[in-house]
Amino acid sequence: MVILLDTGILLRLVDRGSPLHSSIRAAVRVIKARGDTVAMAAQNVAEFWNVCTRPAAARGGMGLSIADTNQRLRLLERIVTVLPDSPAAYPIWRKLVVSLGVVGVQVHDTRLVALMQVHGVTHILTLNTADFVRFAGITALDLNALISPTP
């Protein structure tokens, strides 16, 4: 199975200073140990670059240089499969935003869902599971449940 990693997961996976870094690394190890593949979309990469290079004084910015951001992205590319963009995602996205009444920042998650549907991906590891509840056929994996499964 392929599991898409949401942007917040990607950011913290390569940020050793993040309080969630160890938990996210553990979750990725669990996923890979099961024989599953971790993936990211080009949209995630663009969002990752945006946050990394945004000034630290700006909302959520990390203030990293191009070189540091590029180094982090290269690390991700070694451990995470990149799902190719597809023109087939556009009509799916369009239908979803209209039928579900998606507005604002949620349009980005909807685009990820459309690309997931194109590639037959049904699971996403995210820090914001509630953002994906509205999408039929999509399972948002909770980080804590993944690394501390109940017996």
Helices (H), the chain: 7-13, 21-33, 42-53, 66-79, 89-99, 106-119, 143-147
What pLDDT is recorded for position 85? 94
Delineate the domains of the chain, giving CATH numbers in brackets.
Answer: 2-84+120-147 (3.40.50.1010)
Give the span between the Cα atoms of 74 and 102, in whole angstroms: 33
What is the percentage of the chain residues whose pLDDT exceeds 90?
89
Q: Which residues 6+ apart lie within 8 Å of 2 measured at CB?
A: 36, 37, 38, 39, 81, 83, 119, 120, 121, 123
Tell me the β-bridge partners of 124: 4, 140
Average pLDDT, rounded, for the chain: 94
pTM for the full predicted model: 0.93
